[in-house]
Amino acid sequence: MLSINRLNVSYGVIPVLHDLGLEVRQGEIVALVGSNGAGKTTLLNTISGMQSATSGEIVFESRRIDQLAPHHIVAAGISHIPEGRKIFPYLSVRENLMMGACQREAWSGRQEMMRKAADMFPILGERSQQRASLMSGGEQQMLVIARGLMSRPRLLLIDEPSLGLSPVVMANIYDIIQTFPKMGITVLLSEQNAQMALEIADRGYVLQDGQIVLEGPAGELLDSEMVKKAYIGG
């Protein structure tokens, strides 16, 4: 579904990603784990068109997308849930969700998706008219995930969904993410919390200093001594 080949990304003269290769198959949850600064966010930003590649190619459903503008990438079927809960703070919960359906293809189904979002995260339905900035951190994370679903993506990029959340809220959100393949949504999940990400993933990649240093089935990565020592504390 998604194929990345020999991808290089730099910030000015500073290289960040180095000859990176990665693939995501339809119906999978693929975990991208690594420490802060490893390049995970840069990779997701490059896939979604927010960052330009220096060289290499990104192919989504047999179509190169590395030269497309972000709104064309959304229209192609990719939605990006960024790190740090980037809500529209002065808009209501409902208005935030509507912003996720701004593409023409998604607008006609916005009411149905609003109902699905409220079923998935009941708090969003209960507080639909509340200003988004008044929600807790966990509620805001639920909001940005639901907003990402409003464009009806086939591939969902999720960046650090557990950041700053309590264990209970984190577990709730991961339970929801685990259901996405059954909804026809493939997931590329970037996380510092390697154990939690790999426990729900089919496969995983370990990113260090802008390079993939380990890849394989999620269970094998969880058992890897390198992953245990570097990311799990085992």
Please, what are the averages of pLDDT over each run of 10 residues along the chain (234 residues)?
Answer: 96 92 96 91 96 96 94 93 86 90 75 85 90 91 92 94 85 92 96 90 95 94 85 65
CB atoms within 10 A of CB 171: 12
Closest CA to 1 of 74, 58, 80: 58
Q: What's the pLDDT at 96?
A: 92
d(CA 58, CA 4): 5
Q: What's the pLDDT at 35?
A: 86
Q: What's the pLDDT at 233?
A: 61
d(CA 197, CA 120): 20
Across the strands, what pairs with 80?
157
How many Cα atoms are found within 13 Å in the side-chain-facing hemisphere of 37? 1
Q: Over the stretch 145-191, which tens digit does the pLDDT of each residue have?
A: 999 998 899 999 999 988 888 888 889 899 999 999 999 999 999 99
Q: What's the pLDDT at 164?
A: 80
Q: What's the pLDDT at 43?
A: 96
Positive or negative, the CA dihedral 123, 128, 129, 130 is: positive
